[in-house]
Amino acid sequence: MPEAPDIEVVVFDILGTMVDEPGGLRDALREALPTADEAAVDRLLAGWREQVEHEQRRVGQRRRPYANTEVIDREAARRVAECAGLSDPAVVERLATASRRLRPWPDAPGQLARLARRYPVLGLSNASRATLLRLNAHAGLRWHQALSAEEALAYKPLPEVYRLALAAAGCPADRVLMVAAHAWDLRGAQVVGMRTAYVRRPEGDPPAASDAFDWRTDGLTELVTALTPAD
């Protein structure tokens, strides 16, 4: 594993990388539909994620004006409710805000705090500002700065989102490390010249054989240990 003597700032994806997004959405679906079996929950989750990804792509393709994740999640929740025959408005609204209550991965809060003693650490998420505020508080994630793609009116992997982090970092792109559990996210960061580190998570997007990331690790502890060898 390479050393990182020239890294000045570390940037983390949040959804899926620092918090268990798939597991949290499954929990929210189980809560909303307590009689549904696991196969039905999995189908509804797949429909939710497909809806969100489709609408974010439409925004990126300029086929839809920018809408933040609160709007898109609410649309996904309504689609799920229609498919499941769920009509209670309060239950649908709680489902729509599930992304505010995602659990952190067990290694995330402690390793983030450990790394923050050595580097400035930024969160960079497609989540809206309001969702990100509540999610970070719920999950116990303590950033030096947390950035929402909402500020760029775009979604990762469009380059303008990563440029938010570069502007906040205030140093050359090749001294900024982007950490994510999604290869597509890291490829987007490479477009603007950032260094990249893949952290394996369940249901993430693993690298292809052709991906040339600076680090590939099985967990956040392994990466933080490599970045803080003297600790």
Residue 37's CATH number:
1.10.150
- Rounded to a whole number, what is the distance in angstroms from the first to the last CA of the chain? 17
State the SS3 of 45-85. HHHHHHHHHHHHHHHHCCCCCCCCHHHHHHHHHHHHHHHHC
Q: Are 216 and 205 in contact (CB under 8 A)?
A: no
Residue 2: its pLDDT value, please? Answer: 55
d(CA 130, CA 41): 27
Residue 231: its pLDDT value, please? Answer: 59
If we measure between CA atoms, which residue out of 181, 145, 153 comes closest to residue 20? Answer: 181
137: containing domain: 9-20+102-227
Residues with pLDDT less than 70, the chain: 1-5, 231
Domain termination site, one of 82, 101, 120? 101
Is 2 contained in some domain?
Answer: no
Domain termination site, one of 80, 101, 122? 101
Residue 203: its pLDDT value, please? Answer: 86
> Is the domain of 66 the same as that of 85?
yes
Residue 204: its pLDDT value, please? Answer: 83
> Vertex 158, ends 121 and 21: CA angle to 5°?
60
Residue 166's CATH number:
3.40.50.1000
The whole-model pTM stands at 0.94
List helix spans (H) across the chain: 21-32, 38-60, 69-84, 89-96, 108-116, 129-139, 159-169, 183-191, 220-227
> Is the domain of 32 the same as that of 95?
yes
